Amino acid sequence: MSFTAEAVQSFRFLRYEFKPDTTQVLLHYAFDDTCFFCETLEFPGADLPLSPEREAQLQQVLRHLHLVAGISYYKAAIPPEIRVETGDLDAATAAFLQHLYLQGLGEFAYQNGVSLQQRIKFPCAMTATNVLENVTVAQQAKLPRRTLVPVGGGKDSLVTIEALQAAGVPITLFSVGKPRIIADVVACTGLPHICVKRQLSPQLFELNQQGAYNGHVPISAIIAYILAAAAVLYGFDTVVMSNERSANVGNLVQDGLEINHQYSKSLDFERRLAQSFQQVLPGLRYFSLLRPLSELSITRLFSRYPQYFPYFSSCNRNYAVQKPAEHAGNWCLDCPKCRFVFLALAPFLPKAQLEAIFTTNLLAHSEQIPGFAALIGWQTHKPFECVGEIEESLAAFYLLSQQLEWQTTAVVAWFMAQVLPQLTNPQQLVQTVLTPTDQHQVPDDFLPVLAELTGRISAPSIAPHLCAHC
- Local structure of 428: helix, strand or coil: helix
- In sign, the C-alpha dihedral spanning 247, 248, 253, 257 is positive
- Taking only the tens of pLDDT, the chain with its 470 residues reads 678 999 999 999 999 999 999 999 999 999 999 999 999 999 999 999 999 999 999 999 999 999 999 999 999 999 999 999 999 999 999 999 999 999 999 999 999 999 998 899 999 986 655 554 455 555 556 899 999 999 999 999 999 999 999 999 999 999 999 999 999 999 999 999 999 999 999 999 999 999 999 999 999 999 999 999 999 999 999 999 999 999 898 888 888 888 889 999 999 999 999 999 999 999 999 999 999 999 999 999 999 999 999 999 988 776 555 444 444 579 999 999 999 999 999 999 999 999 999 999 999 999 999 999 999 988 778 888 888 899 999 999 999 999 999 999 999 999 999 999 999 999 999 999 999 999 999 999 999 999 999 887 765 444 444 543 34
Cα–Cα distance for residue pair 82/67, rounded to 1 Å: 11
Contact between 230 and 43 (Cβ < 8 Å): yes
Name the burial class of residue 365, with classes exposed (0-12), middle (13-18) and buried (19+) by CB atoms within 10 angstroms of its CB.
middle
CB count, 10 Å around CB of 60? 23
Which pLDDT score is estimated for 379? 76
The residue extents of the domains of the chain are: 5-288, 295-462
Contact between 80 and 57 (Cβ < 8 Å): no
Contact between 317 and 175 (Cβ < 8 Å): no
Name the burial class of residue 23, with classes exposed (0-12), middle (13-18) and buried (19+) by CB atoms within 10 angstroms of its CB.
middle
Instruction: Give the pTM.
Output: 0.92
Q: What is the DSSP letter of 260?
A: -
- The closest alpha carbon to 466, from 402, 410, 409, 388, belongs to 402
CA 328-334-340 angle, 5° bins: 110
Cα–Cα distance for residue pair 54/255, rounded to 1 Å: 45
Contact between 227 and 150 (Cβ < 8 Å): yes
Cα–Cα distance for residue pair 370/409, rounded to 1 Å: 15
* Phi-psi category of residue 424: left, alpha or beta, with phi > 0 → left and psi -120 to 50 → alpha: alpha
Distance of CA 84 to the CA centre of its chain: 27
What are the C-alpha distances in Å from 275 to residues 54, 243, 330? 20, 18, 38
Residues 6+ apart with CB under 8 A from 31: 8, 10, 11, 12, 76, 77, 79
Cα–Cα distance for residue pair 290/456, rounded to 1 Å: 13
Q: Are strands 24-31 and 147-150 parallel, antiparallel or unpaired?
A: unpaired
Contact between 49 and 120 (Cβ < 8 Å): no
What are the C-alpha distances in Å from 248 to residues 105, 138, 287? 16, 32, 14
CB count, 10 Å around CB of 246? 23
Cα–Cα distance for residue pair 118/78, rounded to 1 Å: 12
- Local structure of 276: helix, strand or coil: helix
